[in-house]
Amino acid sequence: MSFKMNLLEIEKAIELKGSQVLNARTYKDMVVRRRLMFASCVLAWIAVIILIAAIAIPKWEYLQFTNVDWEIVKIDLGVWGEWRQTTNTSKPILEWIPHFPSPPLHLLRLAGQDLRHFYRAQAAIGVISLILLIANNLLALYTFYHHRYTYKRLVAALYVVVALCVLATIEVLSNSVDEWNTTVVVKHHLDENNWDYESVRESGYSKYMAYSVVVICILSAISFVYGSHKQKGENAATAEFEFEDRPIHMGRD
């Protein structure tokens, strides 16, 4: 019963039911905009689940190569660590290699001192983007009950920030593989052409999930910008919009 009442309250907020309509044309236009905003808000909450899964699942990059011991190595790279499978004449060996507190130094490609900074940065930015996304989704819901246009534009701006944070996470994780090349080639004086991990890497589904979050955030930002039209005077959709969008004068009279 309470769930049904909550749905009715949400519908009432979206459709502006019970509000004093000032301009019928603007009112109908605003209802359409708010429906788009709500649809994007639902997508943004789905994006939270997608981003949690992307950060948790080590399937951002997939690599397969032969190491110095002539073992076939398969790696599923993630934010918190990687699954490493080695195969030689015996049966495959699967092991979890954590990135924290620091990657193990006995592996040639992970021996670089700078690599830990890549891993810390990608984890920090990923978690920050998740927290920002959740907080901004709550603020997006707030805008359905408090109509001032600046709130909607703030939500749109924060969605863009979240999209940039997720893109930064993807970029840092990808660049960490480039750091493997630097570590192996420079420190051990090896032929660069034989240790180019870039040529054996493939994007995993966790990365595509992260890209889908970026797309959702951009679409949500566009919808909230579209719905943030300032309501003025007799052209305002409802009396509530007209009142909340009045200029605020601060200072002494």
141: pLDDT strictly greater than 90: no
CATH numbers and ranges of domains, the chain: 19-60+104-244 (1.20.140.150)
Whether residue 75 contacts residue 58, with contact meaning beta carbons closer than 8 Å, is answered with: no
Centre a 10 Å sphere on the Cβ of residue 94 and count the other Cβ atoms it contains.
12
244: pLDDT strictly greater than 60: no
Tell me the mean pLDDT in the region 32-37: 83
* Size (the chain), residues: 253
Residues in contact with 243: Cβ distance below 8 Å, sequence separation at least 6, in sequence order? none
Tell me the mean pLDDT in the region 172-182: 78
Helix locations, 107-201, DSSP H: 115-142, 149-188
Most confidently predicted of 46-50, 101-105, 183-187: 46-50
Q: Give the pLDDT band (50/70/90) at residue 46.
A: very high
Dihedral sign computed on CA atoms, order 172, 175, 184, 65: positive
In percent, the amount of the chain with pLDDT more than 70 equals: 69
Tokens for 139?
Answer: 């603020």
Query: Where is pLDDT greater, at 231 or 198?
Result: 198
Give the pLDDT of residue 4.
47
Of 2-6, 66-70, 123-127, 208-212, the least confident: 2-6
| Secondary structure of residue 238 in the 3-state scheme | strand
| Secondary structure of residue 77 in the 3-state scheme | strand
